[in-house]
Amino acid sequence: MAFEYIKALHIIFIVTWFAGLFYIVRLFIYQAEAWEKPEEERKILVPQLNLMANRLWYIITWPSAILTLIFGFWVLSYRWGYMQLGFMHAKLAFVFLLYLYHFYCQKIYSDLQKGPSKWTSTKLRIWNEVATLLLFAIVFLIVLKSLISVVWGIVGLFSLSALMMIGIKFYKKVREKNQN
10 labelled binding-site residue: yes
**What amino acid occupies position 97?**
L
SS3 label, residue 174: helix
Helices (DSSP H) in the chain: which residue ranges? 2-34, 39-55, 62-78, 86-114, 121-144, 147-179
By the 10 Å C-beta count (0-12 exposed, 13-18 middle, 19+ buried), 57 is classed as buried
Contact 141, 94 (CB under 8 A): yes
Contact 53, 110 (CB under 8 A): no
89 labelled binding-site residue: no
What are the phi and psi torsion angles at 168 (to 5°)?
A: -65, -45
Binding residues for heme: 10, 91
List, as residue ranges, the binding site. Answer: 10, 91
